[in-house]
Amino acid sequence: MKTKTLYIIALIGVIVWLAVQTFQPSLHDPNAVPRTVTARGDLASDEQNTIDIFRKSAPSVVYITSIAVRRDFFSLNVYEIPQGTGSGFIWDTQGRVVTNYHVISDASRLEVTLADHSTWKAVLVGAAPDRDLAVLQINAPADKLQAIAIGESDNLLVGQKVFAIGNPFGLDQTLTTGVVSALGREIKAVTGRTIHDVIQTDAAINPGNSGGPLLDSAGRLIGVNTAIYSPSGASSGIGFAVPVGEVNRVVPQIISKGKMIRPGLGITLANRRLTRELGLEGVMVLRVLPGSTAARAGLRGTTQKREGLVLGDIILAVNGKAVKDYDSLRDAIERYDVGQQVTLTLMRDTSPIDVAVELEAMD
Protein backbone atom coordinates (compact mmCIF):
# COMPACT_ATOMS: atom_id res chain seq x y z
CA MET A 1 0.00 0.00 0.00
CA LYS A 2 2.82 2.35 0.95
CA THR A 3 4.64 1.62 -2.31
CA LYS A 4 1.48 2.30 -4.31
CA THR A 5 1.03 5.68 -2.56
CA LEU A 6 4.59 6.75 -3.36
CA TYR A 7 4.05 5.71 -6.98
CA ILE A 8 0.93 7.84 -7.26
CA ILE A 9 2.71 10.87 -5.72
CA ALA A 10 5.63 10.54 -8.15
CA LEU A 11 3.25 10.23 -11.09
CA ILE A 12 1.40 13.38 -10.05
CA GLY A 13 4.76 15.23 -9.79
CA VAL A 14 5.71 14.25 -13.33
CA ILE A 15 2.32 15.35 -14.67
CA VAL A 16 2.65 18.77 -12.94
CA TRP A 17 6.18 19.28 -14.28
CA LEU A 18 5.10 18.45 -17.84
CA ALA A 19 2.19 20.85 -17.53
CA VAL A 20 4.48 23.68 -16.38
CA GLN A 21 6.87 23.05 -19.23
CA THR A 22 4.01 23.02 -21.71
CA PHE A 23 2.40 26.28 -20.69
CA GLN A 24 5.56 28.27 -19.57
CA PRO A 25 7.37 30.18 -22.31
CA SER A 26 10.99 29.08 -22.92
CA LEU A 27 13.74 31.18 -21.29
CA HIS A 28 16.14 30.34 -24.08
CA ASP A 29 16.26 31.90 -27.52
CA PRO A 30 18.17 29.82 -30.08
CA ASN A 31 18.35 32.85 -32.37
CA ALA A 32 20.13 35.12 -29.88
CA VAL A 33 22.97 37.21 -31.37
CA PRO A 34 25.48 39.70 -29.87
CA ARG A 35 24.23 43.24 -29.30
CA THR A 36 25.40 45.94 -31.68
CA VAL A 37 28.37 47.83 -30.19
CA THR A 38 27.69 51.52 -29.65
CA ALA A 39 30.50 53.61 -31.12
CA ARG A 40 32.17 55.88 -28.58
CA GLY A 41 34.49 57.81 -30.83
CA ASP A 42 38.12 58.54 -30.02
CA LEU A 43 39.55 58.17 -26.53
CA ALA A 44 39.70 61.34 -24.46
CA SER A 45 43.03 63.13 -24.73
CA ASP A 46 43.95 62.52 -21.08
CA GLU A 47 43.17 58.79 -21.47
CA GLN A 48 45.34 58.57 -24.56
CA ASN A 49 48.16 60.38 -22.74
CA THR A 50 47.99 57.89 -19.85
CA ILE A 51 48.10 54.98 -22.30
CA ASP A 52 51.09 56.50 -24.09
CA ILE A 53 52.94 57.04 -20.80
CA PHE A 54 52.49 53.41 -19.82
CA ARG A 55 53.52 52.09 -23.23
CA LYS A 56 56.64 54.23 -23.35
CA SER A 57 57.73 53.87 -19.70
CA ALA A 58 56.78 50.30 -18.80
CA PRO A 59 59.81 48.78 -20.61
CA SER A 60 62.05 50.77 -18.23
CA VAL A 61 60.44 49.29 -15.11
CA VAL A 62 61.76 46.05 -13.60
CA TYR A 63 60.72 43.52 -10.97
CA ILE A 64 63.26 42.76 -8.24
CA THR A 65 63.34 39.58 -6.18
CA SER A 66 65.61 39.41 -3.14
CA ILE A 67 66.60 35.92 -2.01
CA ALA A 68 67.99 35.06 1.42
CA VAL A 69 70.03 32.06 2.54
CA ARG A 70 68.81 30.12 5.58
CA ARG A 71 70.16 27.09 7.43
CA ASP A 72 67.85 24.29 8.54
CA PHE A 73 67.88 24.02 12.33
CA PHE A 74 67.91 20.20 12.35
CA SER A 75 69.83 19.15 9.24
CA LEU A 76 72.07 22.27 9.02
CA ASN A 77 71.46 22.26 5.27
CA VAL A 78 71.59 25.65 3.57
CA TYR A 79 68.65 26.63 1.39
CA GLU A 80 67.36 29.77 -0.32
CA ILE A 81 64.01 31.44 0.30
CA PRO A 82 62.39 34.53 -1.28
CA GLN A 83 63.11 37.43 1.06
CA GLY A 84 60.96 40.05 -0.61
CA THR A 85 60.04 41.73 -3.84
CA GLY A 86 60.01 45.26 -5.14
CA SER A 87 60.29 47.38 -8.22
CA GLY A 88 63.05 49.35 -9.87
CA PHE A 89 63.89 51.05 -13.13
CA ILE A 90 66.65 50.98 -15.72
CA TRP A 91 69.02 53.89 -15.23
CA ASP A 92 71.21 53.42 -18.33
CA THR A 93 71.97 50.98 -21.14
CA GLN A 94 75.01 49.71 -19.23
CA GLY A 95 72.63 47.63 -17.13
CA ARG A 96 72.37 49.75 -13.99
CA VAL A 97 69.09 49.52 -12.12
CA VAL A 98 67.91 51.91 -9.39
CA THR A 99 65.69 50.79 -6.52
CA ASN A 100 65.13 51.37 -2.81
CA TYR A 101 67.80 50.24 -0.38
CA HIS A 102 65.20 48.60 1.86
CA VAL A 103 64.12 46.37 -1.04
CA ILE A 104 67.55 44.69 -1.26
CA SER A 105 69.13 45.32 2.16
CA ASP A 106 68.85 41.77 3.56
CA ALA A 107 69.31 39.84 0.34
CA SER A 108 71.95 37.15 -0.24
CA ARG A 109 71.12 37.01 -3.93
CA LEU A 110 69.17 39.32 -6.27
CA GLU A 111 67.27 38.79 -9.48
CA VAL A 112 65.92 41.42 -11.86
CA THR A 113 63.08 40.60 -14.23
CA LEU A 114 62.70 42.88 -17.25
CA ALA A 115 59.46 43.86 -18.97
CA ASP A 116 59.96 41.04 -21.51
CA HIS A 117 59.94 38.57 -18.55
CA SER A 118 63.61 37.65 -18.95
CA THR A 119 65.33 37.30 -15.56
CA TRP A 120 68.92 38.32 -14.82
CA LYS A 121 71.23 37.87 -11.88
CA ALA A 122 71.99 41.24 -10.25
CA VAL A 123 74.89 42.42 -8.12
CA LEU A 124 74.95 45.44 -5.83
CA VAL A 125 76.96 48.37 -7.19
CA GLY A 126 76.47 50.43 -4.03
CA ALA A 127 73.88 52.10 -1.86
CA ALA A 128 72.97 55.23 0.07
CA PRO A 129 70.94 53.85 3.01
CA ASP A 130 70.33 57.34 4.40
CA ARG A 131 68.51 58.15 1.16
CA ASP A 132 66.93 54.70 0.76
CA LEU A 133 68.56 54.31 -2.67
CA ALA A 134 70.57 51.48 -4.20
CA VAL A 135 72.05 50.69 -7.60
CA LEU A 136 72.20 47.17 -9.06
CA GLN A 137 74.05 45.86 -12.11
CA ILE A 138 72.74 43.28 -14.58
CA ASN A 139 74.50 41.94 -17.68
CA ALA A 140 71.55 42.14 -20.05
CA PRO A 141 72.32 43.23 -23.64
CA ALA A 142 71.81 46.89 -24.42
CA ASP A 143 68.95 46.21 -26.83
CA LYS A 144 66.90 44.92 -23.87
CA LEU A 145 67.58 48.01 -21.76
CA GLN A 146 65.47 51.13 -22.13
CA ALA A 147 66.70 53.85 -19.78
CA ILE A 148 63.99 55.85 -18.06
CA ALA A 149 63.55 59.52 -19.01
CA ILE A 150 64.70 61.92 -16.26
CA GLY A 151 62.60 64.88 -15.20
CA GLU A 152 62.79 67.58 -12.52
CA SER A 153 61.45 67.83 -8.99
CA ASP A 154 62.32 71.44 -8.13
CA ASN A 155 59.41 72.86 -10.11
CA LEU A 156 56.66 70.41 -9.07
CA LEU A 157 53.26 71.81 -8.12
CA VAL A 158 50.64 70.41 -5.80
CA GLY A 159 47.78 69.10 -7.93
CA GLN A 160 49.74 68.09 -11.01
CA LYS A 161 49.17 64.58 -12.34
CA VAL A 162 51.54 61.74 -11.49
CA PHE A 163 51.76 58.10 -12.55
CA ALA A 164 53.30 55.17 -10.67
CA ILE A 165 54.42 51.97 -12.39
CA GLY A 166 55.50 48.94 -10.40
CA ASN A 167 54.73 45.40 -9.33
CA PRO A 168 52.40 45.68 -6.31
CA PHE A 169 51.79 42.32 -4.63
CA GLY A 170 53.89 40.73 -7.39
CA LEU A 171 51.45 41.72 -10.13
CA ASP A 172 53.22 42.43 -13.40
CA GLN A 173 53.54 46.03 -14.64
CA THR A 174 50.71 47.84 -12.88
CA LEU A 175 49.89 51.52 -13.47
CA THR A 176 48.22 53.77 -10.90
CA THR A 177 47.44 57.46 -11.28
CA GLY A 178 46.99 60.40 -8.96
CA VAL A 179 48.27 63.86 -8.20
CA VAL A 180 51.02 65.49 -6.17
CA SER A 181 49.30 65.84 -2.80
CA ALA A 182 52.03 67.78 -0.98
CA LEU A 183 55.68 68.79 -1.27
CA GLY A 184 58.50 69.17 1.22
CA ARG A 185 57.50 66.20 3.36
CA GLU A 186 59.97 64.34 5.59
CA ILE A 187 60.21 60.60 6.16
CA LYS A 188 62.66 58.35 8.00
CA ALA A 189 65.07 56.10 6.13
CA VAL A 190 65.86 52.61 7.44
CA THR A 191 68.89 54.12 9.17
CA GLY A 192 66.71 56.54 11.13
CA ARG A 193 68.02 59.54 9.20
CA THR A 194 65.52 62.03 7.81
CA ILE A 195 64.94 62.24 4.05
CA HIS A 196 63.93 65.81 3.22
CA ASP A 197 61.79 67.36 0.48
CA VAL A 198 59.89 64.13 -0.15
CA ILE A 199 56.94 64.11 -2.61
CA GLN A 200 53.56 63.03 -1.24
CA THR A 201 51.08 61.51 -3.70
CA ASP A 202 47.65 59.88 -3.63
CA ALA A 203 48.57 57.49 -6.49
CA ALA A 204 48.06 53.99 -5.08
CA ILE A 205 51.40 52.63 -3.84
CA ASN A 206 51.30 49.13 -2.37
CA PRO A 207 53.85 46.55 -1.21
CA GLY A 208 55.92 45.73 -4.28
CA ASN A 209 55.76 49.30 -5.65
CA SER A 210 58.78 50.30 -3.56
CA GLY A 211 61.68 51.33 -5.77
CA GLY A 212 59.49 51.95 -8.80
CA PRO A 213 59.25 55.26 -10.65
CA LEU A 214 56.85 58.14 -10.07
CA LEU A 215 56.35 59.89 -13.41
CA ASP A 216 54.98 63.24 -14.55
CA SER A 217 52.51 63.71 -17.42
CA ALA A 218 55.40 63.70 -19.89
CA GLY A 219 56.47 60.24 -18.71
CA ARG A 220 59.62 61.55 -17.00
CA LEU A 221 60.96 60.34 -13.66
CA ILE A 222 60.19 62.79 -10.84
CA GLY A 223 60.62 60.46 -7.86
CA VAL A 224 61.28 56.96 -6.53
CA ASN A 225 58.30 55.45 -4.71
CA THR A 226 59.58 54.67 -1.24
CA ALA A 227 56.93 54.40 1.46
CA ILE A 228 53.24 54.45 2.27
CA TYR A 229 51.39 55.65 5.32
CA SER A 230 49.00 52.84 6.13
CA PRO A 231 48.15 50.87 9.29
CA SER A 232 47.13 47.89 7.13
CA GLY A 233 50.14 47.93 4.79
CA ALA A 234 48.00 48.66 1.74
CA SER A 235 47.58 51.97 -0.03
CA SER A 236 45.53 54.51 1.90
CA GLY A 237 46.06 57.39 -0.49
CA ILE A 238 49.25 58.63 1.19
CA GLY A 239 52.44 57.58 -0.59
CA PHE A 240 55.90 59.10 -0.59
CA ALA A 241 58.65 59.34 -3.19
CA VAL A 242 62.29 60.46 -2.99
CA PRO A 243 62.57 63.43 -5.40
CA VAL A 244 64.47 62.93 -8.64
CA GLY A 245 66.77 65.84 -7.84
CA GLU A 246 68.18 63.84 -4.94
CA VAL A 247 68.23 60.65 -7.02
CA ASN A 248 70.13 62.34 -9.85
CA ARG A 249 72.67 63.66 -7.34
CA VAL A 250 73.23 60.44 -5.40
CA VAL A 251 73.08 57.73 -8.10
CA PRO A 252 76.12 58.98 -10.11
CA GLN A 253 78.11 59.02 -6.84
CA ILE A 254 77.11 55.42 -6.14
CA ILE A 255 78.06 54.37 -9.66
CA SER A 256 81.47 56.05 -9.50
CA LYS A 257 82.38 55.42 -5.84
CA GLY A 258 80.04 52.69 -4.62
CA LYS A 259 78.53 55.00 -2.01
CA MET A 260 77.21 58.48 -1.45
CA ILE A 261 80.02 61.00 -1.04
CA ARG A 262 79.26 63.03 2.06
CA PRO A 263 80.18 66.71 2.19
CA GLY A 264 81.75 67.86 5.46
CA LEU A 265 83.71 70.60 7.19
CA GLY A 266 86.62 68.71 8.71
CA ILE A 267 85.64 69.35 12.33
CA THR A 268 84.75 67.37 15.45
CA LEU A 269 81.65 68.51 17.33
CA ALA A 270 80.60 68.40 20.95
CA ASN A 271 77.74 66.06 21.77
CA ARG A 272 74.32 67.35 22.72
CA ARG A 273 74.75 66.54 26.42
CA LEU A 274 77.89 68.67 26.77
CA THR A 275 76.34 71.54 24.84
CA ARG A 276 73.25 71.40 27.03
CA GLU A 277 75.32 71.30 30.24
CA LEU A 278 77.15 74.44 29.13
CA GLY A 279 73.81 76.12 28.39
CA LEU A 280 74.69 76.79 24.76
CA GLU A 281 72.50 77.13 21.67
CA GLY A 282 73.84 75.65 18.45
CA VAL A 283 76.66 73.16 17.83
CA MET A 284 80.03 73.63 19.51
CA VAL A 285 83.26 72.88 17.63
CA LEU A 286 85.56 70.69 19.71
CA ARG A 287 88.41 70.22 17.22
CA VAL A 288 89.37 71.48 13.79
CA LEU A 289 91.25 68.91 11.72
CA PRO A 290 94.63 70.20 10.47
CA GLY A 291 94.61 70.88 6.73
CA SER A 292 90.81 70.81 6.48
CA THR A 293 88.78 73.47 4.72
CA ALA A 294 87.51 74.54 8.15
CA ALA A 295 91.10 75.08 9.29
CA ARG A 296 91.82 77.14 6.19
CA ALA A 297 88.69 79.21 6.87
CA GLY A 298 89.93 79.94 10.40
CA LEU A 299 87.40 78.01 12.47
CA ARG A 300 88.40 77.58 16.11
CA GLY A 301 88.16 74.48 18.24
CA THR A 302 87.74 74.20 22.02
CA THR A 303 90.97 74.25 24.04
CA GLN A 304 91.94 73.55 27.62
CA LYS A 305 94.18 76.20 29.17
CA ARG A 306 95.55 76.73 32.66
CA GLU A 307 92.82 79.19 33.45
CA GLY A 308 90.09 76.82 32.25
CA LEU A 309 88.14 75.69 29.17
CA VAL A 310 88.20 78.08 26.22
CA LEU A 311 85.14 77.43 24.08
CA GLY A 312 85.53 77.06 20.34
CA ASP A 313 83.21 78.44 17.70
CA ILE A 314 79.54 77.62 18.08
CA ILE A 315 77.74 76.99 14.75
CA LEU A 316 74.32 78.65 14.74
CA ALA A 317 73.28 78.40 11.09
CA VAL A 318 74.27 77.15 7.62
CA ASN A 319 73.38 79.57 4.82
CA GLY A 320 70.87 81.17 7.15
CA LYS A 321 69.23 77.87 8.20
CA ALA A 322 69.39 77.46 11.97
CA VAL A 323 71.00 74.30 13.40
CA LYS A 324 70.64 73.05 16.95
CA ASP A 325 72.53 69.74 17.07
CA TYR A 326 74.77 67.37 15.11
CA ASP A 327 71.91 65.80 13.13
CA SER A 328 70.43 69.11 12.01
CA LEU A 329 73.91 70.39 11.05
CA ARG A 330 74.61 67.24 9.00
CA ASP A 331 71.21 67.48 7.31
CA ALA A 332 71.85 71.13 6.42
CA ILE A 333 75.31 70.41 5.00
CA GLU A 334 74.23 67.35 3.00
CA ARG A 335 71.88 69.49 0.94
CA TYR A 336 75.03 70.68 -0.85
CA ASP A 337 77.78 68.99 -2.84
CA VAL A 338 81.47 68.57 -2.19
CA GLY A 339 83.30 71.67 -3.42
CA GLN A 340 80.39 74.04 -2.82
CA GLN A 341 80.84 76.94 -0.43
CA VAL A 342 78.51 77.54 2.49
CA THR A 343 78.29 80.41 4.94
CA LEU A 344 78.42 79.42 8.59
CA THR A 345 76.97 81.78 11.19
CA LEU A 346 79.15 81.35 14.27
CA MET A 347 79.12 82.60 17.82
CA ARG A 348 82.76 83.42 18.53
CA ASP A 349 83.44 84.63 22.05
CA THR A 350 80.35 86.80 22.48
CA SER A 351 79.85 88.05 18.92
CA PRO A 352 78.10 86.41 15.91
CA ILE A 353 80.17 86.30 12.71
CA ASP A 354 79.75 84.77 9.23
CA VAL A 355 82.50 82.58 7.77
CA ALA A 356 82.58 81.05 4.27
CA VAL A 357 83.76 77.42 4.19
CA GLU A 358 84.20 75.08 1.24
CA LEU A 359 82.71 71.61 1.78
CA GLU A 360 85.11 68.67 1.49
CA ALA A 361 84.59 64.94 0.97
CA MET A 362 84.26 62.95 4.17
CA ASP A 363 84.54 59.19 4.76
| Catalytic annotation, residues | 102, 132, 210
Q: How far apart are CA 18 and CA 5, in angstroms?
A: 20
Give the CA distances from residue 164 to residues 112, 154, 188, 237, 359, in Å, rounded to whole numbers and listed in that order: 19, 19, 21, 13, 36
C-alpha to C-alpha distances, 251 to 99, 109, 111, 135, nearest whole angstrom: 10, 21, 20, 7
Compute the distance between CA of residue 192 and CA of residue 15 in angstroms, rounded to an integer. Answer: 81
Pairing of strands 221-228, 61-71: unpaired
> In whole angstroms, what is the distance from residue 153 CA to residue 243 CA?
6
> Which residues, 6 or more positions from 191, have their beta carbon under 8 angstroms from its beta carbon?
129, 130
Spatial contact of 150 and 92, defined as CB atoms under 8 Å apart: no
- HEC readout, 204-243: CCCCCCCCCEEECCCCCEEEEEEEECCCCCCCCCCEEEEE
Q: Are strands 308-310 and 119-128 parallel, antiparallel or unpaired?
A: unpaired
